[in-house]
Structure 1
């Protein structure tokens, strides 16, 4: 079986280096602005760091992909076009984009630069993917995490565009590319501002019962003194509903597809992606190391017996959101 490319997150130069050092075939990065969907303070790359990251990865035979995957705003389109020009100047191996006008700009201005359709493009069927291939020359699509294995296989069977799927990382209650939930609280959509809970809207307050996390004044969660506090997002907050306080929209958990690797290889997935540019280099190290070993093991097993090692699941469980994992839509029993 052909080994899929392992694509790992790099929210910083240290994260990029540990991903490369621990077995990533490619890393994906973003600039320090709203052109990428992980626009958190303290993350991402300026020109100097990006250039060093590209040099470091290329010198070791690895690829760098740049996410320019938010949607340009009217009157400010130049910022997004400048990001595309910067990617070309840096010599990245591909740009990951969602907006069709921006894809068109990249195709016409930098035709030799490889283009991937971002998960933010929300393409869940082969017709949409083939349209973007015909119009904008995309060579890969990142599928939203809402499809079953059979649906992914159906897409692959009906397009010659490479298909990339998520293999590990935080899940989202929304279909990627269609999230507007946080804009109700903050005025900023992650599809435009690049972050679902902008730092300016986040407040931590101590109370007699613990630490309160608020988003634009809205109480999102309250943590007891001995409970680890998560970053507040509306979709993963705990709310009082019918006299019970719980995760009303989505419980924190991480996608983990290690046990499905033989099936993903069989249907011809071209790349397996790790979510988490907002996570630490330690997270990147742990997940990259495990997935590298697991993918190599699945490829070596071929059609034979693939064993999921307990230590793989233990290592991933420690860095999973909420310290729990799921197969997500891949194992959805309904159509």
Structure 2
């Protein structure tokens, strides 16, 4: 059975994910070391200890995401996060920065290391380098690859692969977002924020909901219509005579129909995005995907179409998995 790796932005979401059938939980500390550094999310050290204990008691693993890039000369916070993750009993750390991966391999050799999607490792050469140089055991593949490309990569590596199957998409190369940095002054890769809450504002205007980011209007949603997540890349803009989504449509990834193909491609683990989502959302998505991976493992048909109302704007896409352009 493929491993189901599920998000937890809070201790309550961790418990909900475990109870719904997650094989592994990924979460982060409440600081700049993880790429979902939003107010009210993430874990203190005592909360992480309790969460790991809760998961382990029920047969689930906990993977600690330390997947932002340390600022030059300020590595102490990131080094402490790796050390604390090991001391608290984490089953693995998810790392992106090359220097931090080297540090973990040298100072914490027994701590399992996964390569974050933030590292954008999309070919066998770079994956094999991380495996041979730093003992990386798993790579989270970027969301820019087709299923055939994933299969080709798996034939040339001796490392586990993990892929996203549900949740938000990023139009940039896995967090390298100049758009968000420009408008908010916060780097997703270094500060762990995309569309920080302090920069988001809403206002009802002429029967529409106007969403603003950093003072710029990025979307107007008619009354009663589902509103997209307030990121600049999913904003609706006027370009010449055309008004529409210039960078990316407000849709979520749903690759549930591709689970058999991903299994044949040699994928080890399936990842659900959504650490900023509610525990009710997490529980429902995890429960549905647990049923799907169990059905696949038992040779039954995978249930489809059960998560449509949980997608962004109630619209879904298979993303790059089925891309046909070249």
Give the TM-score category using the shorter length: over 0.9
> Are 1:266 and 2:260 counterparts?
no
Residue equivalent to 2:6: 8
Shift of 1:334: 3.3
> Are 1:333 and 2:320 counterparts?
no
Shift of 1:232: 1.5
Q: How is 1:73-88 mapped onto 2 (pairs within 5 angstroms)?
A: 73-88=71-86
Q: Describe the superposition over 1:125-145 as per-residue Cα deviations: whole angstroms up to 9, x where unpaired.
A: 010001011111100000001
Residue equivalent to 2:301: 307
Shift of 1:147: 0.5
Cα distance in structure 2, aligned partners of 1:199 and 1:177 = 17
Residue equivalent to 2:136: 138
Residue pair 1:180, 1:190 contacting (<8 A) in 2 also = no
Shift of 1:18: 1.1
Residue equivalent to 1:120: 118
Residue pair 1:256, 1:327 contacting (<8 A) in 2 also = yes
Cα distance in structure 2, aligned partners of 1:257 and 1:316 = 11
> Are 1:164 and 2:165 counterparts?
no
Shift of 1:109: 1.0
Cα distance in structure 2, aligned partners of 1:78 and 1:92 = 19
Shift of 1:35: 0.8
Cα distance in structure 2, aligned partners of 1:8 and 1:183 = 27
Cα distance in structure 2, aligned partners of 1:229 and 1:300 = 38
- List gaps (5 residues or longer) in structure 2: none
Residue pair 2:226, 2:313 contacting (<8 A) in 1 also = no
Q: How is 1:1-335 mapped onto 2 (pairs within 5 angstroms)?
A: 3-301=1-299, 306-309=300-303, 312-313=304-305, 315-335=306-326
Deviates most, 24-33 or 250-259: 250-259
Superposition TM-score, scaled by structure 2 size: 0.96
Residue pair 1:121, 1:177 contacting (<8 A) in 2 also = no
Residue pair 2:37, 2:192 contacting (<8 A) in 1 also = yes
Cα distance in structure 1, aligned partners of 2:189 and 2:289 = 29
Q: Describe the superposition over 1:183-207 as per-residue Cα deviations: whole angstroms up to 9, x where unpaired.
A: 1111111001101111222222333
Cα distance in structure 2, aligned partners of 1:267 and 1:235 = 30
- List gaps (5 residues or longer) in structure 1: none
Deviates most, 24-33 or 166-175: 166-175
Q: Describe the superposition over 1:270-325 as per-residue Cα deviations: whole angstroms up to 9, x where unpaired.
A: 10000111111111111111111111111111xxxx5343xx41x31011111111
Q: Describe the superposition over 1:157-183 as per-residue Cα deviations: whole angstroms up to 9, x where unpaired.
A: 111110001111111111214322201
Shift of 1:119: 0.1
Cα distance in structure 1, aligned partners of 2:80 and 2:136 = 20
Shift of 1:209: 4.0
Residue pair 1:181, 1:189 contacting (<8 A) in 2 also = no
Residue pair 2:122, 2:142 contacting (<8 A) in 1 also = yes
Superposition TM-score, scaled by structure 1 size: 0.94
Q: Residues 267 and 229 from structure 1, CA distance in 2 versus in 1: closer, same or farther, beyond 3 angstroms?
A: closer
Aligned length: 326
Runs of 4+, deviation exceeding 4 Å: none
Q: Residues 238 and 334 from structure 1, CA distance in 2 versus in 1: closer, same or farther, beyond 3 angstroms?
A: closer
User: What's the C-alpha RMSD, in Å, of the aligned pairs?
Assistant: 1.4
